[in-house]
Amino acid sequence: MTGASRGIGAAIAIALARDGWPVGVNYRADRKAAERVVAQIEGEGGQAIALRADVAESSAANELFGSLEQHYGAPVLALVNNAGISRDDLVPSLGDDEWSSVIEVDLNAAFRLTRRALVPMMRARTGRIVNISSVVGLRANPGQANYAAAKAGLIAFTKTAAVEVARRGVTVNAVAPGWIDTEMTAELPKGLLESIPARRAGTPQEVAACVRFLASEEASYVTGAVLTVDGGMAA
Amino acid sequence: MPAVTTEQVETRVIEALASFGPEADRITRESTFEELDIDSLDLVELAQIVEDEYGVVLKGEDMKEMKTVGDAIDVIVSRAD
């Protein structure tokens, strides 16, 4: 679980742990928050370990997987690519760094982690990769061209990876949340609620429930899919 | 790293390839991957097995050059020393 110290990531980590997954709670900087997630999981009888890494660094994939494989003595059979940032600006004002940093964390990191995850999963003949995309990858949202490109790229990557490894029992899917109540969306534009058929933002738990399903044994025939969790916004 | 014999590598490679689908007794040094229905995904997995067990790294270009089971065995043995 990348980016699991807060928001949607933390909710997913907790939900997966409740399903029996030992969880690697990756965080970039907020160790205390990650440790709170670990403590909550352990308090509920689950297993978790906090893992520091900045997924923007190319060494992160090997570090995270190496640590987990060593700690639990087993291959990592589920990966949730959730770490993400946004650096909003209209295209004419969008700087090179704002563009590339979002692509790096939201898309390139997911590629590196997936690449590292796949072969052990293939050899185990089972695996689950869930990429947290966004409705912004499906429908335009002014000011988020970089985020949209990364999230749409993540969807296309999901489908291709899924088709490559399907016959090894490894599924690769995407979840596309709409507006979800977290720190990242604390400042919502006015009038946004009117554009959401459900007339409310979603909760991290509602996104986590979808990831929990996709990571489960029951979802073994679902692959290359995009599950939107958006109260109808992108429909 | 103890020296590997060609026979050991051959046995291991055939065993690995058989786990991807073809019957083990159909697999010979002369068999082409194509006729065995071994595709690039299978070769990726074979490369990982070879790296784990013999420390030999097979890259994409290497895999493209290999057409037969014998090609794979020979490359592995030559790099394992």
Return the minimum-mean-pLDDT range out of A139-143, A151-155, B58-62: B58-62
Q: Quickly count: other Cβ atoms within 10 Å of residue A205's Cβ.
A: 15
Please indicate, yes or no, if residue B57 is contained in any of the structural domains.
Answer: yes
pTM of the model: 0.93
Please indicate, yes or no, if residue B28 is contained in any of the structural domains.
Answer: yes
Q: How far apart are CA A156 and CA A46, in angstroms?
A: 33
A119 and B41: CB-CB below 8 Å? no
Per-residue model confidence (pLDDT) at position A194: 86
Chain B positions touching A168 (Cβ under 8 A) are: 41, 45
The percent of residues in chain A predicted with pLDDT above 90, rounded, is 93
What's CA A167's distance to the chain center, in Å? 23
Q: Count of A–B CB contacts within 8 Å? A: 14
Domain region containing B75:
6-80
B44 and A122: CB-CB below 8 Å? yes
- Per the annotation, the verdict on A72 as an active-site residue is no
Residue A119 has pLDDT above 90, yes or no: yes
Q: Where are the alpha helices (DSSP H) in A7-139?
A: 7-18, 31-43, 60-72, 96-103, 109-124
C-alpha dist (Å) from residue A217 to A68, A77, A82, A169, A228: 21, 11, 20, 10, 20
Average pLDDT for A162-185? 92
Please indicate, yes or no, if residue B46 is contained in any of the structural domains.
Answer: yes
Please indicate, yes or no, if residue B29 is contained in any of the structural domains.
Answer: yes
Residue A189 has pLDDT above 90, yes or no: no
A189 vs A104, more confident: A104
The tokens describing A52, both together, are 């520091």
Per-residue model confidence (pLDDT) at position A191: 81
**Tokens 């026979």 map to which residue?**
B7
Q: List the A78-81 sheet strands across, edge first.
A: A78-81, A127-132, A170-177, A226-229
Please indicate, yes or no, if residue B40 is contained in any of the structural domains.
Answer: yes
Residue B1 has pLDDT above 60, yes or no: no
pLDDT band at A108 (very low <50, low <70, confident <90, very high): very high
**pLDDT tens digits, A21-44:** 999 999 999 999 999 999 999 999
What's domain A7-229's architecture? 3-Layer(aba) Sandwich (3.40)
Please indicate, yes or no, if residue B1 is contained in any of the structural domains.
Answer: no
Q: Would you give the DSSP letter of residue A154?
A: H
Number of domains within chain B: 1
- The answer to whether A234 and A178 have CB atoms below 8 angstroms apart is yes
CA A21 to chain B, closest CA, distance in angstroms equals: 25
Q: Quickly count: other Cβ atoms within 10 Å of residue B21's Cβ.
A: 12
Q: What is the mean pLDDT of chain A?
A: 96
pLDDT band at A192 (very low <50, low <70, confident <90, very high): confident
Chain B positions touching A164 (Cβ under 8 A) are: 41
**Tokens 């589920």 map to which residue?**
A78
CA B40 to chain A, closest CA, distance in angstroms equals: 10
A189 vs A105, more confident: A105
pLDDT band at A107 (very low <50, low <70, confident <90, very high): very high
Please indicate, yes or no, if residue B59 is contained in any of the structural domains.
Answer: yes
Residue A199 has pLDDT above 70, yes or no: yes
Q: Whole-angstrom distance between the N-terminal and C-terminal Cα of chain A? A: 28
Which 3 state secondary structure label does DSSP give A192? Answer: coil
